[in-house]
Amino acid sequence: MQSITLRSGLERKSHLSRTFAALKLQLRALACPRMTSSWLHLLNSHSVLRDLAIAQPRLIHKIYRPWLSHRMCQRQRLSALMSHYHFILQQGLGELVADAARRPVELARFAGKSGALYN
């Protein structure tokens, strides 16, 4: 079982680009050690989350980037992300989300009024 680390967030790019990305990621982790530790702990807490992080390496970076709202502090971002992934696991959607990170996943298929098939 592969453990998720900061290095797991490095995409396969040129050596220089990868080195720069590793440095940036390491600096962010040093600036936010508790947040980084909590995030990596979550990603390693469930096999589905490990698979998701392997399929989408940029997931490791997510806690360092402003998203949802620029008004959220780091602690709020981490809390929102952790709640989000806990919810996915509680609802039994982990495998579906991990599959969707690798390839398109059909969520529904139905016929419209005209008989055209939608999926």
Does residue 20 have a pLDDT over 90? no
pTM value?
A: 0.81
Nearest to 22 by CA among 37, 38, 6, 36: 6
Cα 68 from Cα 77, distance rounded (Å): 8
Encode pLDDT of 71-106 as tens digits. 888 889 899 999 999 999 999 999 999 999 999 998
pLDDT in tens, 25-70: 899 999 999 999 999 999 999 999 999 998 888 899 888 888 777 8
pLDDT at 42: 94
pLDDT at 45: 94
Phi first, then psi: what are they for 117, rounded to 5°? -90, 130
pLDDT, residue 91, reads 96
> Which of 27, 46, 32, 11 minimizes the C-alpha distance to 78?
32
The domain ranges of the chain are 6-118
86, 92 Cβ separation under 8 angstroms? no
Q: What is the pLDDT of residue 21?
A: 85
